[in-house]
Structure formats: structure tokens, C-alpha cells
Homo-oligomer: A and B are copies of this chain.
Amino acid sequence: MEEQCEFNFIVADDHTIVRQGVTFILKEIHKNSCVYQLANFSEIIKRLNTTPIDLLVLDISFPDGTSLNIIPTIKKIQPNIKILIFSAFDENIYAIRYLNAGASGYLSKLSNEDEIKLAIKSVLNSGKYISKNIQEKIMDTYIFKKPKNPLEQLSNREIEIAKLLVEGFSNIDICNTLNIQKSTVSTYKNRIFEKLDVDNLSSLIQIFNFYKDKKE
């Protein structure tokens, strides 16, 4: 039966409704394709071991970066597979990481139907899809050559203070333990936020947890 499939797709997402929505679009684009709807990682692996897949549309539900390493795992089984990340999380923080890890595209769930179709077609035809937003981001990274791991931009002192902030210490705590003025701590905080392009502690914590164990 697989021989009647023009393409083999996997749609992996824990939400049924999303799987079905994506399946519907895939069938619209390629009527004679087979779509495997899967809800978790082990199902994906099982399927990859039995069926050559052209495109995997992959939801990433965990913002902590654990799903990053599933990409090489998948590619080890099927090196030519195209992976389109379909994510509810903000492009700005994650997209480039996933593309570097070997994904063929990163698509926001906020995208309208045309964009979704475009992404799928692009990945199938040219092997990649990069949204306007991400293109700009990459330009930034290349032209201003920011390091891949944004934490590397921080000076030693800045990292020291960022870490304390992330661990929950107040400015006053920090200024006491480091014996500096509170205004100094604030200045650091500002510089850290600026360098990492965030504007609240919550985002700092996210970035920190995301990148702390990653080599650039």
C-alpha cells in the first residue's frame, strides 16, 4: 500500500486537532500521499524504522530545549528526512537553534493557512523554509556576528550577576554579597537584559535554562 503513496508524511503533535488539521492540509497539497499521525516520540521512532518518510511535521511542546536533540536522533535513522518544526513557541528564541540542529524549517502555529502551505511546499521542493522573520534574525547573527550562544556575550561579572538573578536573589541580596551599590546591580541587570534581548526576569530565566548546558 505504501507504493501508492506519492509522499509519506508524519504529523507529530500531542493535540489530535492539530494533527488532523495538518493532515488535512497535507492531503490538500498532495492527494495521493500517506499521512501518519503520531502523538509521541517513540511512535515516531517506530515508524521511521519501518517507512521512509519524506517530511516530518514536528510539534515541539517543551520550551526547555530537550527536543533539540531528538533532531539528530531522527536524522540518524533517516538522514534524508525533512523536518518542519511546527511550534507554539516564539520564533525569536528557538527557530535558529532548531535549524542549526538540522531542521528544514520552523513554522509558527500562529501562521495562516497560506503560510503553512508555503512552508510545506518549500520544504518538499527546495528542502527548506525560512520565514521572513527568521531570515532577518539570521542576517543579524551573521552581519553583527553575535555568538550562537547568547550567554557568551556576557562578561564574567555579568554572568555572575545573571546567574544570581536567575537563582532568585534580589538586587539587594546581590549588592550585599558582591559589595557593590544597588545602582550598579541595576546597571548590570540592564546590560544583561539588553545583550540577551529580553525585558523581564522570566525571559532571562528561560534563556538561561535553555543555553546554560549548550556549547555555543
Contact = CB atoms under 8 A, between A and B. Distances in A.
28 contacts: A15-B88, A15-B109, A15-B110, A16-B109, A16-B111, A16-B112, A16-B113, A17-B17, A17-B18, A17-B22, A17-B25, A17-B86, A17-B116, A18-B21, A18-B109, A20-B21, A20-B24, A20-B113, A21-B21, A21-B24, A165-B202, A166-B202, A168-B200, A168-B201, A168-B202, A170-B200, A201-B201, A201-B202
Contacts of A165: 202
Contact of A205 (B14, B15, B110, B205): B205
Given A17-B25, A21-B24, A201-B202, 5 more contacts: A15-B88, A17-B18, A18-B18, A168-B200, A201-B201
A78 interface: no
A25 B18 CA distance: 12
Interface of A: 14-18, 20-22, 24-25, 86, 88, 109-113, 116, 165-170, 199-203, 205
A18 B16 contact: no
Q: Number of copies of this chain in the oligomer?
A: 2
Contacts of A205: 202, 205
Contacts of A110: 14-16
A55 to B, nearest CB: 16
A46 B168 CA distance: 39
A169 B200 contact: yes
B17 A109 contact: yes
A82 to B, nearest CB: 19
Contacts of A20: 21, 24-25, 113
Contact of A18 (B15, B199, B200): B15
A201 B168 CA distance: 6
